[in-house]
Amino acid sequence: MVTPDQKRQGAAHLQEMVLVGRAKPLSQRRATRVVGLARATLRHQSTQPVKDGPIQNQMFHLSQTHPRFGYRRIHALLCRTGTGMGTGMGMGTGMGMGTGTGTGMGTGTGMGTGTGTGMGTGMGMGTGMGTGPLNIKRVHRLWKAMARQVPARKKRRARATRESQRAPQQALYPGQVWSYDFVHDKCRSGAKLKLLCVNDEFTRQCLAIEVGASLTSQDVQRVLEGLFHSQGAPAFLRSDNGPEFVQSDLKRWLQEQNVQTLYIEPGSPWQNGKSESMHGKLRDECLDRELFHSRTQARVLIENYRQDFNSHRPHSALGYQTPNEVALNWKLNQQTLT
């Protein structure tokens, strides 16, 4: 199937070249007739690049800031910045003692109306502004035209899911179930980094990321004590069976805090899926992008990422809301119900 753009190129080529047996190139009329294109279509100058220019600039800057974001998450960020505002203008006429009305659609969902009165002919004009969301299909089209596709991460082979393999005690409200686990990385000098990540499974908030060379069960307890003091203690705490999490003193202290431990089965990381998901994003969007020169620099950059993760990063599993927005909306809903 030949597109209009390809027909335009063909017609332009025929107007430039001299065919055998002819003294001069084909006229525009003959060239468009040969390729089957209307002359109005050939002369038409599209205004779409002018309309798409500002959106493409924003998409480019966002993709530079978040190189691992796809078009869906970029679309969510664009909607947050207010991109997609529309303007419209309308004009109408009426004969006699009449009124003229008109409506016009512009970029986005803007609409304008106008009325006019007068003897003989009336004319009205109006403008309007719309605040509808930016069409995700438009973002997808521009994303492909800009060739900004993100290389997909290699997915692990899926395993059959059985009822016994599913994570027990799913979170039903904020603060009910927390999960924590370790992530390992290293500095440029080769110094080891050990990260303790604590997450709320309902809101997907990353509550803390402790960075050190080596973290023991005492360090785990210290981090949890600070979170319990500021956030309150959860009802359940999910983890694997690592030695730092099954240490007797830590288990005794958690029991004193009325926190029930949920240990996943050995070799079953999918039972701690929300924690594993957060770790994948942390590595993909932060650890693999940054080159840490020291542990102090690592702490600063990782903490900056944690705050951005909670406050600005849209999550597809949360309807492209941020974790902080989910927590705030839940609190507001509970206040409304009470």
Query: Exposed, middle or buried: residue 308 (CB in 10 Å: 0-12, 13-18, 19+)?
Result: middle
DSSP-assigned beta bridge partners for residue 224 = none
Q: Which segments within the chain are labelled E, that is strand?
A: 86-95, 98-105, 111-118, 121-130, 177-186, 192-200, 206-212, 236-239, 260-263
Task: Yes or no: say if 235 and 177 are a contact pair by the CB < 8 Å rule.
Answer: yes
Report the pLDDT value the prediction gives residue 92, as an integer from 0 to 100.
42
pLDDT tens for 146-201 read 777 676 666 655 554 554 455 577 889 999 999 999 999 999 988 999 999 999 99
For residue 292, give both structure tokens.
């840490």
Report the pLDDT value the prediction gives residue 72, as an integer from 0 to 100.
81
What b/e sequence results for 182-195 when a residue is b if at least 16 CB atoms lie within 10 Å of its CB, and e otherwise?
A: bbebebeeeeebbb
pTM value surpassing 0.75: no
pLDDT tens for 293-313 read 999 999 999 999 999 999 998
Report the pLDDT value the prediction gives residue 120, as an integer from 0 to 100.
40
Query: Exposed, middle or buried: residue 287 (CB in 10 Å: 0-12, 13-18, 19+)?
Result: buried
Report the pLDDT value the prediction gives residue 258, as an integer from 0 to 100.
94
Q: Domain residues of the chain, as ranges?
A: 4-43, 48-85+128-148, 170-337
DSSP code for 24: S
- Tell me the C-alpha distance between 271 and 165, whole Å: 7
> Regarding the domain delimited by 170-337, which CATH topology (the fold level of the hierarchy) does it fall under?
Nucleotidyltransferase; domain 5 (3.30.420)
Report the pLDDT value the prediction gives residue 157, as an integer from 0 to 100.
56
Encode the chain (338 residues) as per-residue pLDDT tens digits: 778 778 878 888 887 876 656 677 788 888 888 888 888 887 877 777 778 778 878 778 777 777 778 778 878 888 887 765 444 333 444 444 443 444 444 434 344 444 444 434 444 444 333 445 688 888 888 778 777 767 666 665 555 455 445 557 788 999 999 999 999 999 998 899 999 999 999 999 999 999 999 999 999 999 999 999 999 999 999 999 999 999 999 999 999 999 999 999 888 888 888 899 999 999 988 998 889 999 999 999 999 999 999 999 888 888 889 999 999 999 999 888 87
84: left (phi over 0), alpha (psi -120 to 50) or beta: left
What are the angstrom distances between the C-alpha of 48 and each of 10, 40, 297, 314?
A: 22, 17, 45, 28
Report the pLDDT value the prediction gives residue 159, as an integer from 0 to 100.
55
CB atoms inside a 10 Å sphere around CB 49 = 9
Report the pLDDT value the prediction gives residue 146, as an integer from 0 to 100.
78
